Structure 1
Amino acid sequence: MMKHAAFATALSLLTGALASAQTPAETFESGLAEYRRSHHIPSLSVVVLRDGEPDVEAYLGWSDDEGELPTTADTTYFIASVTKTVSGTTLFLADEAGEIDLDRPMADAEDWQGLCDWFPDSGIPLAGGEVEGVIMPDFSCAGQTLRQVVNMQANGEPGTDFWYNALVFARLGRWVDEVHERDFRSLVRAYVLDPLAMTDTMAGWHDIQNFHVLSHLAPPFFFDGERVVKQPFPDDDFRGAAGLYMTPMDLARFDRALDDGTLLTPGQRDALWTPPNNPDGSPSEYAHGWFLEDYQGERLIFHSGWQPEAYSAIYLKVPDRGLTLIAFANSESLWWHNRPDRSEIERSDLVQAFFAAYGIGETTP
């Protein structure tokens, strides 16, 4: 009920904003303070980029448990699975450079064999079971390649259908650590973080660079139905699926580099976001760490992040319009109970507010 009420609240706020604001940025930004309040988010940072430049920068709330430290542009967050966009892009670039072979078998790593021994019979739904009302096919070690794992095609018959499996994707980091000369953190730094001067990003607790990121970290909270309760910090180190801590504007540096040719040629960028085919010949909804979706005539490229009862994040690109939405929260309230078999970012009420403000899905770009 809370999510439905929040959705209605967001849309009603947006309707009022549409009547008064003169620009899409003003329309969208005017409802964010009430959105944060109604969703019980202590610290919320939202950035909208238009052609690489900030159209909206909103830093709302407070980033400590006493409510004394206001959220600012320096506030950092654990971005959970949005990390996959950086991880997947890194592996794509390393494959293009000949340093990593995406078609190499996962079984080349002993860690993968260890996963094979316990995961299929673990009882974890991602190994085969119900996730958000959907029955995932069984996971079995059947010759998966690095490419199939990074494209989320590891469940069922490997290399066929898309099934979102964050636990298996997380094994990519361990695979690189074991079989490659450079560990995964070093690879990500070499291909993405250091070339882009992403100095407000840490790759996990054990990263030896950019310690100041933790001093600006908004601690996690959970709304228990009555109040927001401070939660333990995530204690996992950096891995393929999650582990980056950063500011929204550092992710904006990554976003600009994707679009302006700094990281990839136009042909490489097209290949990065070209998914494999499903068995019926239709394109998959995931490629190289990115969700892909066609929504009412609009091309959407995105990822969400969810650390249960702690953090959530949204990173959405609408490339034909030159628009990007970045939203970080120190609660799980940006999460919308994503299904494991579909790319449906329109189910997010914040994204719906963004769409309405900017006319996405309503008019021709």
Structure 2
Amino acid sequence: MSQVEQQTARALLRRLAVEQAECRIPSVTAAIVRDGEIAWQAGRGQVGGQPPTPATQYRIGSITKSVVAVTVMRLRDEGLVDLLDPIGKHLPDTRFGEATIAQLLSHTSGLTAEPPTAWWERTPGVEMPDLLTRVGPGEVKHRPGRRYHYSNVGFALLGELVARLRGMPWLTAVQAEVLDPLGMDATTARPRPPHATGYAVHPYADVLLPEPEHDAVAMSPAGQLWSSTTDLARWAAFVAGDTGGVLSPGTLAEMREPAIVDDADAWTSGYGLGLQLTRHAGRRLAGHTGSMPGFLATVWADPADRVGVLFMANTTSGMSRTLLADLLGILDEHEPRLPEEWRPGGADPALLALTGLWHWGPTPYVLRLLPDGGLSLEPMRGGGRASRFEPQDDGTWLGLDGYYAGETLRAAPDHLDLNTFIFTREPYDPAAPVPGGVESWT
């Protein structure tokens, strides 16, 4: 499944055209990615008197943060940093060094959102030594780890972390380790032709004001990059799971896990490790929004469905909040993905013998053998502690998710030992080693 059908393409184009016209956007480009390939792409408006093309560059703002975060996770996987390291361990010239690398990645460090400089997005940037001098203890607004508080300054520090540990500018490391391997050769720090000019649209007249564009220098890891539709589509495929060897699938999945939620009561938006998260219409999406003066951009990916969606526009504000959700909704309405065909497979007889009904005390659970060779343990009636497990070399099983994530399952013919909890074939089976002893049922 690659290119969308003509009727679907028409419906998608109409939604984009409505956005451009009603929101008065100088130009906008959008795309849908399916199974790692662009399935639909379109542009509206004008760039230099012509419609934007898949090669036209737009500034992608804070999507830059996700690219930097991937480089940080590569450092972690190489053993050069630990996510629990305080940033001061690697940047000793910081004056607020107790925040950890994980907290900086997830915007829970408590650091101020913006640097104590002139409006950094619209003025020439300052060098890192100057920024570190300006950002003192007074710029810590919350206890580290207490809450989600978006911090551009935090990602400036992560860029400096990459620079110092790699011995090169952060952008050079990102180019060599992320952009080049993914084939994103149209993603650059400064614009190159063909590129859109950033505009502010007058709120009460159809008049444009060009927005300034500068090198953010120390703050550049927070939002410097420009990209094209083609490149951002490759990034969407990456976030959806096509890592191209840049990261292990396990590390990318870790980045997509919620580290903090922004609306705890509803949990519709949150943040992982350098990736924004949102839930919509049954989908769990990962990606990032981007905003710089004159530009807006967003990319979302659904790893479960191997689909991504993105837009880039050269306007400071004014777009609706529903464009990408609507595009995904049109795709789901017109071309819902067919489920994979079920096919029988083999099974180790010893594992097959473990499947079926088990009891945690009086509560029935079902143990199933998964197609990938793992196990799934879940309450028969739902609503309890369910987890998946993968086999380990020593014969035990490691919990992957749910309550038992990271815990060890040991399986014997007559009982399961799950982190001291004993599951038996019969409720409180007296023949099994149930802690506390078992009396006869009466």
TM over 0.5: yes
Bigger relative CO (Cα 8 Å, ≥ 6 apart): 1
Task: Check if 1:96 corresponds to 2:77.
Answer: yes
Contact 1:88/1:150, CA 8 A, preserved across alignment = yes
SS of the aligned residue for 1:294 comes to: strand
Corresponding residue to 1:177 among 163, 175, 184: 163
Contact 2:32/2:39, CA 8 A, preserved across alignment = yes
Task: Give the letter aligned to residue 235 of structure 2.
Answer: F
Give the C-alpha shift of residue 305 in structure 1.
0.7
SS of the aligned residue for 1:34 comes to: helix
Structural mapping, 1:122-141, within 5 Å:
141=96
Contact 1:167/1:241, CA 8 A, preserved across alignment = yes
Structure with greater proportional helix content: 1
Give the C-alpha shift of residue 92 in structure 1.
1.1
- Separation in 2 of the partners of 1:24 and 1:94? 42
Corresponding residue to 1:147 among 95, 99, 102: 102
Give the C-alpha shift of residue 179 in structure 1.
5.6
Flag the 1:75–1:149 CA change in 2: closer, same or farther, 3 A.
same
SS of the aligned residue for 2:317 comes to: coil
SS of the aligned residue for 2:222 comes to: coil
Residues 157-198 of structure 1 show CA distances to partners (whole Å, capped at 9, x for unaligned) of 212322222233233223433465233112212220121222
Corresponding residue to 2:183 among 185, 197, 200: 197
Task: Give the letter aligned to residue 291 of structure 1.
Answer: Q
Identify unmatched segments of 5+ residues in structure 2. 111-141, 340-442
Partner of 1:241: 222
Residues 4-29 of structure 1 show CA distances to partners (whole Å, capped at 9, x for unaligned) of xxxxxxxxxxxxxxxxx974443222
CA RMSD, Structure 1 to Structure 2 (Å): 2.9
Corresponding residue to 1:71 among 49, 52, 55: 52
Partner of 2:306: 322
Corresponding residue to 1:49 among 33, 37, 59: 33
- Separation in 2 of the partners of 1:53 and 1:192? 18
Higher Cα Rg: structure 1 or 2? 2
| Of 190-199 and 180-189, the range deviating more from structure 2 | 180-189
Q: Percent same amino acid at aligned positions?
A: 27
Flag the 1:76–1:147 CA change in 2: closer, same or farther, 3 A.
same
Structural mapping, 1:1-20, within 5 Å:
none
- Separation in 1 of the partners of 2:280 and 2:44? 29
Give the C-alpha shift of residue 47 in structure 1.
0.9
Give the C-alpha shift of residue 75 in structure 1.
0.8
Corresponding residue to 2:192 among 214, 217, 227: 214
- Separation in 2 of the partners of 1:235 and 1:215? 17
SS of the aligned residue for 2:196 comes to: coil
- Separation in 2 of the partners of 1:36 and 1:89? 32
Residues 104-126 of structure 1 show CA distances to partners (whole Å, capped at 9, x for unaligned) of 3222425533xxxxxxxxxxxxx
- Separation in 1 of the partners of 2:210 and 2:284? 38
Give the C-alpha shift of residue 335 in structure 1.
5.6
Partner of 2:402: none
Corresponding residue to 1:112 among 77, 94, 104: 94
- Separation in 2 of the partners of 1:335 and 1:289? 24
TM-score, length of structure 2 as denominator length = 0.60
Partner of 1:132: none
Identify unmatched segments of 5+ residues in structure 1. 1-20, 114-140, 206-212, 337-347
Give the C-alpha shift of residue 246 in structure 1.
1.2
Flag the 1:30–1:50 CA change in 2: closer, same or farther, 3 A.
same
Corresponding residue to 1:266 among 242, 245, 249: 249
- Separation in 2 of the partners of 1:286 and 1:232? 30
Give the C-alpha shift of residue 351 in structure 1.
2.6
Flag the 1:242–1:36 CA change in 2: closer, same or farther, 3 A.
same
TM-score, length of structure 1 as denominator length = 0.71
Flag the 1:265–1:176 CA change in 2: closer, same or farther, 3 A.
closer
Flag the 1:153–1:78 CA change in 2: closer, same or farther, 3 A.
same
Give the C-alpha shift of residue 35 in structure 1.
1.6
